[in-house]
A and B are shown apart, each in its own frame.
Chain A
């Protein structure tokens, strides 16, 4: 069955806002660019300034992080890394993948910009589908993009930010159009959209739902100086609260590696430090978060032995009495569970497919390297210090996104050089 594109409509959110036929979206004319062109780097730098100067977005931690990520220094670093890649492979000419169809996730407002920006840097034309549930932050980001497009025809001609309801026929046409499709999950979206055929020449990257957790050395934590423990609390706060704990890399479980006697004192210190950080920042979460956490924990307590302290504010920590209980369930909104194990290797034992980030504290480089080897082979993609869970990197879920957004043209010249 083929649906003709002229009847299908999407809601265009940038360059301008309004209904637009899918036909016209797909026939955009913008030219491809050389990867990491100075011009495109400049555009991202300009967007960075706009975001960081926007009063509304400056109040949103996730947008500030995005603004910093887009700033010139960071983009130049990516360009340098790309330069080194080119040097290391003289027998390869990198060209844009061509036409990229992005399906952005609904849980993290800024994610669509990261996905798009990398692809744009690589020189592609892009159609980005954002979630229909548009938050003020998302709308603000889109309006900044729109504004930039007014003075930047190159940007306006080759990029479309759209939304549309659950309509497979639109996704089908966009999939046919694309030379590369990137699906930012979760599982449902990936399953649904994977049924739509791509062009036989196209490639795809899909990111399903992920589970992330923390591993902390109990002893190192108890021995840490106050400033260090406070800094850890601040980092954990960022990891958990920036996106209401709904980012794929936000931790939901804290695995304490150490003795049973030290478990309670460590938790007491951790909770106090986190509570202090919440007060320091004057954090007040969404109105329904507390009820959401309660509903989750009451249901959990009907099946599993656990303890909680309902006096905790803006978060709720569930403590399982023995290391045997481990549940990889996601509540969000400030709920996490604690379990204890004797050794770091047991952290690897619980890791599995669908796990993404382990944020860590208090382990040596050797220990972490070993954990990365063991947990990585079972599915974990990333080990970073607590506080860096949400830092976006071009390698995501184990995949090289820049590599995805480029094609490698093999070149052997007559001179025989590679």
Chain B
């Protein structure tokens, strides 16, 4: 696919520069372009449009809400590709608990490049242009096997280019290497470091360990970026506010930024704005739909989140219905100096409680590590 001029327009603008209405005009055009592209290049997608969305008339939509979508779990069961297998430079897989199917996302160099270009722009908005020392709140083993790109490894690898002198703060047994960390911070003290980790890992192995060890850190200038589901934290009844408070208490880190993203749409991530809402950049947007009727809902009404991204060209993942529940708060807030919609994630759809005949003696479900 030739680089569309819409995409170029999007890439030329700053990530939170366009008011919602203006942004939507570009995104709809880009979504139409991508829908047509995948319809022509991916046989499965073509079949799905014909069979489920009534054929080529589904390619002509005026509103983003009318764009065809795929349920995100389809990437777990089908191989969805819009380029030749030979053009695939990287296959991303989602993290999944043992025995569960994982998503497979096929990237060609063009899509991989679009992903990193947009990610750079979003990251720079929050972190500035300088590359700073980067501490991963994980163990180095997670990225050692480069062939298997688990979501955790992919997240870390995706983050690597934005920092320098990467340091892994956990040992292979997940214990915090506090001494090593102190040494590293001492060595790099001219610049404020960026910490990155998956939310639950940060909670369990960083906050938890520092609380146990006592003698916290005082990193008032540092930034902590974290991502990944809240499900495990919800299970232990930790709110986002408490998470930030406890991070501050043990480490002194004041700037804690959560972001929402998924392996199916790498690049167009949703960073937490200063009001602690997740903010859509111009490269992507969300639509909230009623869980039962799938009708689009106005701001303030919680529902299923559909994510639209302008990036996926090598796989038909530009319009996906997730299983996350969220609610749009508002858009184009001048006080923030950021345009576009912002929202909250409320959790994951309670997994299908449909009980088949055969679950009377269900085998115990392994608890994810």
Binding site for B on A (CB under 8 A): 103-107, 129, 131-133, 165-166, 184-189, 192-193, 208-210, 244-246, 248, 284-292, 294-295, 297-299, 301-302, 305-308, 310, 313-314, 330, 332-333
Contact = CB atoms under 8 A, between A and B. Distances in A.
Which 5 pairs between the two chains have the least Cβ-Cβ distance? Answer: A186-B358, A186-B357, A188-B358, A106-B359, A301-B51
B356 interface: yes
B294 interface: yes
A107 B357 CA distance: 5
Tell me the interface secondary structure of chain B in the complex.
loop
A290 B291 contact: yes
A301 B321 contact: no
Contact of B361 (A107, A193, A299, A310): A193
A298 B358 contact: no
Nearest to B358: A186
B292 A290 contact: yes
Contacts of A284: 292
B294 A209 contact: no
Given A291-B304, A292-B352, A299 B78 contact: yes
Nearest to B354: A332
Contacts of B54: 307
Interface stretch (B67-75, B118-126, B219-227, B243-251): B67-75
Nearest to B55: A307
A79 B51 CA distance: 54
Interface string B15-57: 0000000000000000000000000000010011001111000
Given A292-B352, A295-B71, A332-B356, 12 more contacts: A107-B359, A129-B360, A165-B364, A187-B357, A246-B356, A291-B71, A291-B349, A295-B73, A298-B48, A302-B47, A302-B74, A307-B51
Given A287-B350, A292-B352, A105 B357 contact: yes
A389 to B, nearest CB: 15
Nearest to B78: A302
A291 B355 contact: no
Given A288-B350, A292-B354, A314-B292, A189 B360 contact: yes
B363 interface: yes
A302 B364 contact: no
Contacts of A131: 355, 359-360
A288 B351 contact: yes
Interface size class of B (residues with CB under 8 A): 35 or more
Nearest to B73: A295
B324 to A, nearest CB: 11
A112 to B, nearest CB: 10
Contacts, number: 137
A305 B136 CA distance: 48
B104 to A, nearest CB: 14
Interface in B325-369: 349-364
A251 B94 CA distance: 35
B358 A246 contact: no
A301 B48 contact: yes
B356 A186 contact: yes
Contacts of A299: 74, 77-78
A330 B356 contact: yes
B323 interface: yes
Contacts of B323: 288, 291
Contacts of A298: 48, 52, 70-71, 74
Contacts of A245: 354
Contacts of A333: 352, 354
Contacts of A104: 360
B49 to A, nearest CB: 10
A113 to B, nearest CB: 15
B358 A306 contact: no
A192 to B, nearest CB: 6
Contacts of B2: none
Contacts of A289: 292, 352, 354
B363 A166 contact: yes
Nearest to B295: A313
B293 interface: yes
A248 B292 contact: no
Given A193-B361, A310-B52, A133 B356 contact: no
- Residue among B53, B71, B321, B358 having the largest count of chain A Cβ atoms under 10 Å: B358
B56 to A, nearest CB: 14
A292 B77 CA distance: 14
18 contacts: A133-B355, A166-B363, A184-B357, A186-B356, A186-B359, A186-B360, A188-B361, A189-B360, A189-B361, A246-B354, A288-B353, A290-B293, A291-B323, A298-B48, A301-B47, A302-B44, A310-B52, A333-B354
Nearest to B44: A302
A415 B175 CA distance: 88
